[in-house]
Amino acid sequence: MLSLFNKQLYGNYGEKELAGGESNLQNEWPLWEVFIRSKAGLDHKHAGSLHAADAQMAIENARDVYTRRNEGISIWVVESKHIHASDPAEGEELFDPANDKVYRHPTFYDIPDGISHM
């Protein structure tokens, strides 16, 4: 049967997490995703993941693991199980159709001389 609605969670792809983000090892701390803003005005960018017992510890662990070389001024953390992800197995139908649609890029306009930064 064709499964049209296959719910995926990011944690599914972690080495220890089961579907739904529940840890299969009772004593493991949950997995967290870390996002770092490197300077004011820029977006928070995904920096990596780590284990922590709760959000407070996750922020502090992120501080120690990902900002000790002056990489950031702000940290976001989110438990990995709360991130919903596309299924790698559905990659063909999700992404391949965009391969041959070059006309979706705005590259067919003549830009007048004197317009910079385009």
Binding site for other proteins (CB under 8 A): 29, 50-53, 56-57, 60-61, 63-65, 68
| Least distance (Å) between residue 41 CB and other proteins | 24
Q: Specify the residue for token string 């049209």.
A: 4
User: What is the phi-psi region of residue 47: left when phi exceeds 0, alpha when psi lies from -120 to 50, beta otherwise?
Assistant: alpha
For residue 85 the two structure tokens come to: 């992800």
| Least distance (Å) between residue 24 CB and other proteins | 17
| Least distance (Å) between residue 64 CB and other proteins | 4
Q: How far apart are CA 75 and CA 67, in angstroms?
A: 9
Residue closer to other proteins by CB (options 8, 79) is 79
